[in-house]
C-alpha cells in the first residue's frame, strides 16, 4: 500500500518510486488481462459477477464498519480501523478511488479515438458537414496542445525551473481558449434554455384538456406569486385570518410546500428504492442486463 500511498514531492527519489509503481502496475495489468482473455466464455459471466460483488462489498463495508475516534499527538480524527494493513479502511477506499480514476483516464483515450474516427471520416469523405468536423478537430488539437503546454509551464514554475513572466504567452493563450472561448460558449448554450422553456411551456399550457387547464392555472398562480406587481393585486386582503389564504403569495407558497414538494419527494423516494433494488440485483448477479452479461 505504501507504494500507492506516496506523495510526489517532485524529488528524484519519489519520481523513481512513481516510475517503478507505474511499471509494476502495467506489468500486473498485462498479466491480468492476458489471463482474463484465456478464460472460457462460459466462465466469464460468473467471473464478472464475482468482480462486481467484491467491488460492491468494499463500499458496503465502508458503510457498515464501525468508526473510531483516534488521537494522534495533539490531533484527533475519525478512522475506520481494521486489523490488517493499512489499518485504516479509508486508505483502502482511497486506493480504489485512485485506481478507478486511472482507469477512467485510460478509457478517455477510447473516447478521443471515437471522436477522431467519426470526424476524420467525415473530412476525408467530403461530407456535407465536413467543415464543422474540421473546426472540431482544430479546436480539439489547439486545446490539447495549449492545455498541456500550460500544465507543463505551471509545474515548472512550481519547482522553480521557470517563472510566470517567462510563460506569460502560454498562460494568456490558455486563458483565451479556456476562459474567453470555451466557458463563454458554455454560457451561450445555457442561455438558450430560457427560450426553450418558453416554447415548451407554451405547448404544455395550451388549454386542450382538463389536466392542461389545471396545470396552467396552478403555474399562473406560482408565477404571479413571485412577481411583486402581481402580489400588489391581492395586497388589499388582510394579512391574518381566513382571507389571508387568498393572497397570491400565500397561495403560491401553499402550492409549492403542500403539492409540489410532496410529489417530488414521493418520486425521489421511489427512485431511491428503485436504485437500491437494482443495486441489489446487480450485486447478487440476477440482473439480466449489461452489468453482468
Partner 1 sequence: MGEQQVLESFLQYGRYGWLLMLTTALVVAYLLVGIVLARKRSGAVTIRRIPGLDQIDEAVGRATETARPVLMVPGLSGALDGIAVQALTIFASIIRTAARFSTPIRLLNYHPAVYAVAQEIAKDVYQTEGVPDKYDVDSVRFVSDRQFAFAAAVAGTIQRDKVAAAFYMGDFYAESLIMAENANMVGAIQVAATTQFTQTPFFIAACDYVLLGDEFYAASAYLGREPVLLGSLVGADWAKLTFMAFAVVALVVHSIQASRPLTDQDRQRFEEYGTPVLPGQEYPQRNEYFFNWINRIPRG
Residue 237's region, left for phi above 0, alpha for psi from -120 to 50, else beta, is beta
**Whole-angstrom Cα distance, residue 9 to residue 16?**
12
Decide if residue 242 touches partner 1 (CB under 8 A).
Answer: no
SS3 78: strand
Min dist. Cβ of residue 278 to partner 1 (A): 5
Which residues in the 122-141 window bind partner 1 by CB under 8 A? Answer: 129, 132
Q: Which long-range contacts (CB under 8 A, 24 or more apart) does 179-185 make?
A: 182/143
Decide if residue 182 touches partner 1 (CB under 8 A).
Answer: yes
Among 69, 126, 228, 236, binds partner 1 (CB under 8 A): 69
Q: Which long-range contacts (CB under 8 A, 24 or more apart) does 34-43 make?
A: none
Which cell numbers hold the place of 207?
388549454
Min dist. Cβ of residue 151 to partner 1 (A): 18
Please list, in sequence order, all residues whose beta carbon lies within 8 angstroms of the beta carbon of residue 210, skipping any fewer than 6 positions away: none
Binding mask 191-230 for partner 1 (x = CB under 8 A): -xx--xx-xxx-xx--------------------------
What element of type H or E holds 171?
Answer: helix 168-174
Min dist. Cβ of residue 289 to partner 1 (A): 3
Q: Which residues bind partner 1 (CB under 8 A)?
A: 63-73, 76, 81, 87, 100, 103-104, 107-112, 114-115, 117-118, 121, 129, 132, 182, 185-186, 189-190, 192-193, 196-197, 199-201, 203-204, 240, 264, 266-271, 273-282, 284, 286-291, 293
Amino acid at each position: 500500500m505504501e507504494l500507492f500511498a506516496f506523495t510526489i514531492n517532485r524529488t528524484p527519489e519519489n519520481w523513481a518510486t512513481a516510475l517503478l509503481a507505474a511499471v509494476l502496475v502495467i506489468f500486473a495489468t498485462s498479466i491480468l488481462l492476458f489471463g482474463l482473455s484465456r478464460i472460457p466464455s462460459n466462465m466469464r459471466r460468473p467471473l464478472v459477477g464475482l468482480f462486481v460483488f467484491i467491488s460492491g462489498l468494499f463500499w458496503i463495508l465502508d458503510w457498515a464498519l464501525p468508526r473510531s475516534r483516534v488521537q494522534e499527538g495533539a490531533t484527533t480524527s475519525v478512522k475506520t480501523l481494521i486489523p490488517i494493513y493499512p489499518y485504516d479502511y479509508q486508505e483502502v477506499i482511497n486506493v480504489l478511488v485512485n485506481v478507478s480514476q486511472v482507469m477512467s483516464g485510460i478509457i478517455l483515450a477510447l473516447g478521443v479515438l471515437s471522436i477522431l474516427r467519426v470526424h476524420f471520416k467525415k473530412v476525408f469523405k467530403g461530407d456535407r458537414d465536413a467543415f464543422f468536423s474540421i473546426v472540431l478537430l482544430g479546436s480539439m488539437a489547439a486545446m490539447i496542445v495549449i492545455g498541456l503546454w500550460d500544465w507543463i509551464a505551471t509545474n515548472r514554475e512550481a519547482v522553480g525551473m521557470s517563472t510566470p513572466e517567462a510563460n506569460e504567452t502560454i498562460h494568456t493563450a490558455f486563458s483565451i481558449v479556456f476562459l474567453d472561448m470555451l466557458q463563454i460558449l458554455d454560457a451561450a448554450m445555457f442561455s438558450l434554455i430560457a427560450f426553450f422553456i418558453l416554447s415548451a411551456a407554451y405547448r404544455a399550457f395550451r388549454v386542450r384538456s382538463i389536466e392542461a387547464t389545471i396545470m396552467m392555472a396552478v403555474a399562473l398562480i406560482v408565477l404571479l406569486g413571485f412577481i411583486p406587481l402581481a402580489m400588489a393585486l391581492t395586497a388589499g386582503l388582510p394579512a391574518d385570518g381566513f382571507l389571508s389564504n387568498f393572497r397570491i403569495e400565500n397561495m403560491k407558497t401553499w402550492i409549492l410546500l403542500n403539492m409540489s414538494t410532496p410529489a417530488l419527494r414521493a418520486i425521489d423516494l421511489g427512485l431511491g428504492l428503485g436504485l437500491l433494488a437494482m443495486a441489489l440485483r446487480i450485486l447478487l448477479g440476477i440482473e439480466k442486463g449489461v452489468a453482468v452479461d
